[in-house]
A = this chain, B = another copy of it.
């Protein structure tokens, strides 16, 4: 299955509890749609409306909140084109793109895990 669990355990034992790397990552990926937003953007830049549709219609407020938060944390960039009607494109930064490793691990795990219905 996974790689060598023993090495991982060693690294994890090292990670001092208060504010370890995992906790910092969790803070970035916090919130209901955050991780899925990144999933969508890993396949390329997208507009606000495209994201909304692809995710299955989260409320505009929530989506805005998440995008703003991710922008503030340098995970993605927000580009406004002064057209009418307006066009806003969201795109992952280098930092944001590097989250792909985590998402990929999640994808692999989720696909092999027999899911118990809640």
Contact = CB atoms under 8 A, between A and B. Distances in A.
Nearest to A29: B106
Copies in the complex: 2
A42 B116 contact: no
Contacts of A18: 56
Q: Which of under 10, 10 to 19, 20 to 34, or 35 or more describes the interface residues of A?
A: 35 or more
- The dominant DSSP class at the A interface is helix
A104 B8 contact: yes
Most chain B C-beta atoms within 10 Å of own C-beta, residue among A44, A94, A98, A101? A101
Interface string A9-29: 101110101101111111110
Interface of A: 1-3, 5, 8-9, 11-13, 15, 17-18, 20-28, 35-36, 39, 42-44, 54, 56, 72-74, 94-95, 97-113, 115-116, 118
